[in-house]
Chains A and B, each alone.
Chain A
Amino acid sequence: MNLDLLPLALADGFSYAGLLFLVALGLTLIFGVMGILNVAHGAMYAFGGYAAASLIQLLMSRGEVPSVVLVLALFAAAIVVGTLLGCLLEIGLLRRVQDKDPVLQLLVTFGAFLILDDVQLLIWGGSPYTASEVTGRLGTIELFGATFTAYQLIFIPVVALCAYGLLQYFLRHTRVGRQVVAVTHNAEVATALGIHAKRIRLVTFIVGAILGALGGALSVPSTSLVPGVGTDMIVLSFSVVATAGLGQITGALIAALMIGMARSLAVYTFPEFEVVVPYLIMVLVLLIRPYGLFTVAQARKI
């Protein structure tokens, strides 16, 4: 590979990592607090994406819409989908298996994922969905002799970093956030101290679900959603979370960047390896550090 191309590959990896991080962030947050590996997170991604695409198509069909409204529509769709599905899953399912074997919990979320996958097919059918209008409105940027869309190169990474910053602020400096941290440490003690652990779990799950849905919603302006899109994302974001160490937020950020960059470097050098690169990294990391890169032994998970 020509060294001139390195900055291009890194720019690609950066924008790819943004989306990946958003989804992984939700997954790792839910694991950190609830101890559940939520496979249904992939469905949040897909539903968020489809809902955002439908909403934008609806808005566009009503004539001229300002760009700000379209961008806000992406977030609105994610918040609505995340809240609804999050409540449904947490109250309807996860609360009931809270004290059961983790394997059972995993199977329950897996079952929910399969059901939601079919519900999605029922609602939106098999045709590809998209909402590329937003990307077009934000224009393009010339960088190192190549053209990038501002949406992918700047908007998505900025949103991802904002989400990271806001979440850190929420956990450290707000009342509810500190309660989340307390429940993460030890739910029983937290309850004894007067924290409503049930409610904290629900809040966490909804925030996680919104992050997953946001990943999907932000992907529609530049991609086409097809059935099965959630499966791919859950596998990939799991590799990010596992590389970082389950429950590690900053770790997920770094792992997403690593995987994003490595993947785009692979496209430039050994395109055949593009698909396996995230998993190669995961395997290598887990061989050396079985609990992930950033796990501190027995310390707080958030």
Chain B
Amino acid sequence: MSKKAPFKVLCSWAAVVVLSACPSLVWAQTGKPATLPLGITTFLTGSASVFGIPGKAAAELWIEEFNAKGGIDGVKLSPRFIDEGLGGDKFLSEYRRVAQDAGEKVMVSAISSGNCNTVAPVAEDLKVLNVMWDCGTEKILEDRRYKYVVRTQANAVTEMVSTVVYLLKTKPDFKTIAVINQDYAWGRDSWEIFRNALLSLKPDTKIVAELFPKFGAVDFSTEITRLQALKPDVILSTSWGGDLDTFARQASQRGLTKQSLLVLPLAESSLERLGTALPDGVIVGARGDHYFLHPETKNDPKHKEFVEKFRAKTGAYPIYPVYHMVAALEGITAGYQSAIKKNNGQWPTTDQVAAEMHNLKFRGLTRPVQMREDGQGLEDQLLGVTKKVSEYPFPVLDKIMIVPASAVTPPIGEKSPEWVKKLKPDLLNNDQFKTFDYGG
């Protein structure tokens, strides 16, 4: 044993004593990490990859630029993508693999409401900040108070109630409605909310058919024939992706669109793909105020530049999941920056950032989002009707209305199913519903 050994032992003992005396030193993450890993879950396979792949492209584009500008106080973001298409246990174990890695990280998850349901309690247990970036189910944040789970966008209630508002504002005199939704949680839940909101605001509406073809159906001919025989004034479909494309195309080929008014709250994400298949006058929603021709921000340099870069990268105009992804990333970084400020310029703890995320106003590419105490983001809703114009090879939105989220979202503590049934028709007289014509 050398002479220096006792000194070494003493030093290491001292270090152990100091470290164990103030555990906060080890766990408080006061040290800035070299990079901040983001565990981003998105659909890279399966039918929902129509959202997941543009979402991933948006994340890559945004993060690259953000890092080039210096990151969060010098800390660069390093994304790790997890495929939601894996589903179930496999998805959860991939999620855990990233979330349980040593060191600080933020999870950005998920698109699917089912996956959000899965990861929310896990993130809460692990004390990892999880930002739900695209899933719609309102139940997660209504049923339980989360400290580490927030949503930087609207939920299904805001989306559906604003669609009812827009429908009643544009076509107040209809009598009958039919629905054709995908047969899974979103298709069923969204109809439940829509129906209750509609019956509260217009109790004399008659529901003539409720059709739930299977998720991923490739042919709606029979459903369309039945709808042609029933002749409802309005047909709602909250479907998306290939299902919506097929239904909209077959409906238009067979003249169903001439006979009934189509209401498609998710069709903003299909507009470019459908091209001229969608006739004029169809009501289209965007799950938020997302639209590359947003009347208030289409000329805003930040928005405009992003649209151009996104098109250059992917060849397509950005659709709503792209906006949701940018909103989540802007939200997270704004949360960090605001927490750093409150922490006197020091790098904040996850707890501090999570607290900040429950009380934050940030802006993605369109109107700002206000985060509430329950972790729910208040995101305004944009709807419009299709109109063919010469500037684009697909319809644009005309008669746009932006519905403020605060008017169509249940207050904190209220449960949506009851709240929706209490809606009063004077909701429609709100003077904050701004309208815009195309080109205006």
Contact = CB atoms under 8 A, between A and B. Distances in A.
Given A126-B45, A222-B250, A8 B50 contact: no
Interface residues of B, number: 38
Interface string A217-241: 0010011111111001000000000
Interface stretch (B127-135, B216-224, B305-313): B216-224
B246 A223 contact: yes
15 contacts: A5-B226, A9-B225, A13-B222, A16-B222, A121-B45, A126-B47, A146-B225, A146-B254, A147-B228, A152-B221, A222-B221, A223-B219, A223-B250, A226-B241, A227-B46
Contacts of B241: 128, 226
Interface in B11-59: 43-47, 49-50, 52-53
B245 interface: yes
A145 interface: yes
Contact of A140 (B43, B219, B254): B254
Given A130-B245, A132-B277, A148-B254, A226 B47 contact: yes
B1 interface: no
A143 B219 CA distance: 19
A149 B225 CA distance: 11
Contacts of B43: 126
Interface in B218-239: 218-219, 221-223, 225-226, 228-229
Contact of B213 (A140, A228, A229, A274): A274
Contacts of A12: 221-222, 225
A111 interface: no
Contacts of A147: 228, 254-256
B259 to A, nearest CB: 9
B253 A126 contact: no
Contact of B216 (A19, A132, A228): A228
Given A145-B228, A147-B256, 17 more contacts: A12-B222, A16-B219, A121-B45, A126-B52, A128-B241, A132-B249, A140-B253, A145-B229, A146-B225, A147-B255, A224-B249, A226-B241, A226-B242, A228-B46, A229-B218, A267-B226, A271-B212
A66 to B, nearest CB: 20
The main secondary structure of chain B at its interface with chain A is helix
Contacts of B253: 132, 135-136, 140, 149, 222
Interface string A15-41: 110010000000000000000000000
B341 interface: no
Contacts of B169: none
B293 interface: no
Contact of B53 (A126, A136, A223, A226): A126
Interface in B237-284: 241-243, 245-246, 249-250, 253-256, 273, 277
The 10 lowest CB-CB distance pairs between A and B, nearest first, are A126-B49, A226-B242, A128-B242, A146-B228, A12-B222, A224-B242, A224-B245, A264-B222, A267-B222, A147-B255
Given A9-B222, A222-B219, A128 B50 contact: yes
Contacts of B229: 4-5, 8, 145-146
Contacts of A275: 183, 214
Contacts of B44: 126
B211 interface: yes
B88 to A, nearest CB: 16
A15 B45 CA distance: 31
B176 to A, nearest CB: 16
Interface string A259-289: 0000110011001101100000000000000
In this complex, the member of A126, A223, A228 whose beta carbon has the largest number of chain B beta carbons within 10 angstroms is A126
A197 B422 CA distance: 75
A290 interface: no
Contacts of A16: 219, 221-222
A102 B167 CA distance: 58
Nearest to B221: A12
B76 to A, nearest CB: 29
Nearest to A231: B216
Contacts of A125: 49, 53
Interface string A113-135: 00000000100011110101001
B254 A223 contact: no
Contacts of B245: 128, 130, 224
B178 to A, nearest CB: 11
